[in-house]
């Protein structure tokens, strides 16, 4: 299995971007683990939910994230790898989710 240290750092950066230190302390930021290759997870914080999972691409771990809210006008997807955080305007999240998990992880 791949080393998840670098991807964890980028995932933490994604989750805490825009938060001040006090807010960061309140957020329970989960560590990525190998179980995310098998079972997607969800975080609910304030009025936003994040669904995320891990896949291997070219033997490197990649996190696919969907941020959505039923209160705010929010439904966006992101791709996080060991070196970058990218907006996913093409909806690759949904393709990867369906390839890896089928109907097990649908809204």
Write out the two tokens for 83: 């070196």
End-to-end CA distance of the chain: 29
Q: What is the pLDDT of residue 103?
A: 66
Q: Please tell me the least confidently modeled range out of 18-22, 89-93, 103-107.
A: 103-107
Q: What is the distance between the alpha carbons of residues 73 and 18, in angstroms, rounded to a whole number?
A: 18
pLDDT above 70 covers a percentage of the chain that reads 94
Span of 12-16, 26-30, 90-94 with lowest mean pLDDT: 26-30
Q: Where are the beta strands (DSSP E) in 1-107?
A: 41-45, 48-57, 60-69, 74-80, 85-87
Q: Look-up: residue for tokens 């998990």?
A: 101
Higher pLDDT, 25 or 93: 93
The predicted model scores a pTM of: 0.85
pLDDT of residue 29: 73
Contacts of 28 (CB under 8 A, 6+ apart): none
């Amino acid at each position: 299995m791949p080393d998840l240290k670098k991807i964890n750092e980028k995932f933490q950066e994604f989750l805490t971007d825009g938060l001040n230190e006090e807010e960061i302390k309140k957020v329970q930021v989960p560590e990525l683990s190998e179980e995310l290759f098998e079972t997607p997870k969800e975080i609910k914080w304030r009025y936003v939910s994040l669904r995320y999972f891990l896949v291997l691409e070219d033997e490197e771990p990649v996190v696919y994230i969907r941020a959505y809210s039923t209160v705010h006008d929010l439904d966006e997807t992101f791709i996080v790898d060991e070196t970058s955080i990218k907006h996913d305007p093409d909806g690759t999240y949904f393709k990867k989710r369906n390839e890896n998990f089928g109907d097990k992880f649908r809204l």
